[in-house]
Amino acid sequence: MVKHVNQEELEVLIRENKYVVVDFWATWCGPCRMLAPVLDSLSEKYADKAVFVKVDVDDNEDAARKYGISSIPNVFVIENGKVKDNNLGFVPEASMEAFLNKNLV
């Protein structure tokens, strides 16, 4: 299960972990709700490689602004405190897994 965090918690996790996978989303976003079970499944599979979290852009506008979020869902891979890559929009599990395999080296 992907943990819901606020901006402060996100910044702590980014400082303390090599890889953080961040799902920027909102409750009203249909594609975000479709992506949630995909990320829940993959977060279990990749638990040894990265911390998976969700950030609600409506509740954490500063975080959304900091990372330049203008469309959601937007999944970021942050490596050693820096954005490595992102994936915008809903994708099926196989595509998200390929994205993670490429970025969680």
Interval 6-19: pLDDT, tens: 999 999 999 999 99
Tell whether the model's pLDDT for residue 21 goes beyond 90: yes
End-to-end CA distance of the chain: 22
Is 24 known to be catalytic? Answer: no
- Report how far residue 96's alpha carbon sits from residue 35's, in angstroms, rounded to the nearest whole number: 9
Give all domains of the chain, ordered by start, each with its CATH number: 3-103 (3.40.30.10)
29 is catalytic: yes
> Which residue of the set 10, 14, 20, 29 is catalytic?
29
Among the listed residues 10, 21, 22, 32, the single catalytic one is 32
pTM for the predicted model, two decimal places: 0.97
